[in-house]
Amino acid sequence: MATPDNTEIINSALDHIVAGYVFPQRAAEADRALRARLAAGEYDALSGAALCEAVTEHLQEACPDKHLRLLWQDEPQPLTAPADDGAGRAAFLALMRAENHGIHRTEQLDGNIGYLDVRCITDAGAGAHAIGAAMELVARTRALLLDLRKCRGGAPTGAAMWCSYFLPDDEVHLNDLYERSTDSTRQYWTLPYLPAPRYLDRPVYVLTSATTFSGGEDVAYTLQAHGRAEVVGETTRGGAHPTARHPVTEHITVTVPTAMSVNSVTGTNWEGVGVQPDRAVPAEKALGTAHEEARERWGQR
């Protein structure tokens, strides 16, 4: 089988974007901009990862969306996309199980301050017991530091479950998710049942960095919007749109945002602007800053 040339690669990627991107008008604008660059020969000398980087940069210039990307994988991937999302979901759940459902560390810090280092937002169904076990371990602390500085994404259902632990019941409307392909909106509310006690009437600090992304931003943004947490650290990366992945070649995948999150409090989301911290400090100082304040204000002496 002949290797696709750059014209075929970019045409295929743009076809997926036009067909699936959550904002059709913006997709059309990006399509025109990239085809003009292609016709001008801007990609003729590029290949592999360099091509993907250039196309991604130009896509995001035409349509500012951090999830809109052309990705290079060194290892060849299957060219045939699954008939449904079952295979992708199975792969995601297998990864979550291998990574302890994103829960990297649980600790009781000085002053009886709880600490959770969460690096991915797992699926609510598969990860409920792991999230519950972590929350059980910090249930009797006087304040909690939720560290999302290395959290780069995950599942909306898991974000809703994490947020549910910090809100009082199942009557809090968190956000809505609009899906272009079905022209439908799914509402996310706090959950009525959780495997561990809710963490109420005590302060929560969410730690962020410039690499906190997607599902991690969802948790930070939602808790901040509901006045339930203080965000300490850096402005996050700014990706609010769930995506679909489409193979273009054995080494290239295009990611296409197919849905849009709308927060019930703000009426918008963090796309392109990130979650703005209440206390802006360098990411490497966020833990120390939040712990010192929590220990002085709320900790056991």
Please report the pLDDT score of residue 86 as a whole number: 59
Flag whether 143 is in a domain: yes
- Token readout for 202 is 């005590």
Flag whether 222 is in a domain: yes
CATH number at residue 222: 3.90.226.10
Computed over every residue of the chain, the mean pLDDT equals 92
d(CA 121, CA 131): 10
Flag whether 1 is in a domain: no
Assess whether 50 and 108 both reside in one domain: no
Assess whether 51 and 130 both reside in one domain: no
Banded model confidence at residue 1, pLDDT cuts 50, 70, 90: very low
User: 134-163 burial by CB neighbour count: b if 16+ within 10 A, else e?
Assistant: bbebbeebbbbbbbbbbbbbbbbbbbbbbb
Domain that holds residue 212: 99-239+274-298
Assess whether 290 and 206 both reside in one domain: yes
d(CA 126, CA 71): 28
pLDDT digits (tens, 9 = 90+) for 69-109: 999 999 888 876 554 555 566 777 788 888 889 999 999 99
Residues 6+ apart with CB under 8 A from 301: 111
Assess whether 57 and 123 both reside in one domain: no
Please report the pLDDT score of residue 9 as a whole number: 95
Segment 104-132 mean pLDDT: 95
Flag whether 253 is in a domain: no
Distance of CA 127 to CAs 36, 92, 102, 190, 216, Å? 45, 12, 9, 16, 15
Flag whether 268 is in a domain: no
Assess whether 13 and 125 both reside in one domain: no
Distance of CA 151 to CAs 116, 196, 209, 228, Å? 12, 22, 9, 19
Assess whether 291 and 143 both reside in one domain: yes
Flag whether 187 is in a domain: yes
Assess whether 60 and 193 both reside in one domain: no
Assess whether 62 and 135 both reside in one domain: no
pLDDT digits (tens, 9 = 90+) for 48-65: 999 999 999 999 999 989
Flag whether 205 is in a domain: yes
Assess whether 37 and 161 both reside in one domain: no
Please tell me the pTM assigned to this model.
Answer: 0.87
d(CA 292, CA 277): 17
> Structural domain tally of the chain?
2
Report CA dihedral (61, 62, 67, 71) to the nearest 10 degrees: -80
Distance of CA 168 to CAs 191, 225, 300, Å? 10, 15, 24
Segment 162-181 mean pLDDT: 95
CB 208, CB 231: distance < 8 Å = yes
Phi-psi category of residue 87: left, alpha or beta, with phi > 0 → left and psi -120 to 50 → alpha: alpha
* Cβ-based burial of 41 (10 A; exposed 0-12, middle 13-18, buried ≥19): exposed
Flag whether 78 is in a domain: no
Assess whether 50 and 148 both reside in one domain: no
Assess whether 123 and 12 both reside in one domain: no
Assess whether 39 and 169 both reside in one domain: no
